[in-house]
Chains A and B, each alone.
Chain A
Amino acid sequence: GQQLNQSPQSMFIQEGEDVSMNCTSSSIFNTWLWYKQDPGEGPVLLIALYKAGELTSNGRLTAQFGITRKDSFLNISASIPSDVGIYFCAGQGRGGATNKLIFGTGTLLAVQP
């Protein structure tokens, strides 16, 4: 099936550090979204990207939609302990006629205070 690969799989950082994670696909998507999942909770939408090359920020989070429409990255600046969780990218609109999300494999972020 379709696969979105995220890297790294996990990150263990100190509070205050910047974080970068990315997501790649063999397929083109029309929209990229980034979600955060806390343990036992549903994914929470962080950022949505709609155009190739688009760079969007949401507070300390910045995400970009790759020019090829096959990749995206998410940066978190000045990490804090509550940034801990699993971050998922999701591609949407493959083939144009669907709005279902295909989720990436996830990046586990741990922040040491």
Chain B
Amino acid sequence: NAGVTQTPKFQVLKTGQSMTLQCAQDMNHNSMYWYRQDPGMGLRLIYYSASEGTTDKGEVPNGYNVSRLNKREFSLRLESAAPSQTSVYFCASSDTQAFFGQGTRLTVV
């Protein structure tokens, strides 16, 4: 049972480049989330998906897009990366408990 798997673990982008962070869960959860974590800021919600086919903005959605491809997969896309998007990104899924992926450390130079 892998739980929540996200890729890649590390990524360096140049300003203006695009990339997609992938997340998949094998726990049959309806809800999935993308968070970013910055020092002293805790976990801030970017987008979440309460079920397949639905997505909602969280606290900090600007500069990001998401796709809930199916029940298992929820991807996060940066269309034009900016240095302010340098952060650690966590995917999570939940039914009555939330489980996190291992995180992606993204640096935008």
Chains A and B bind each other: no
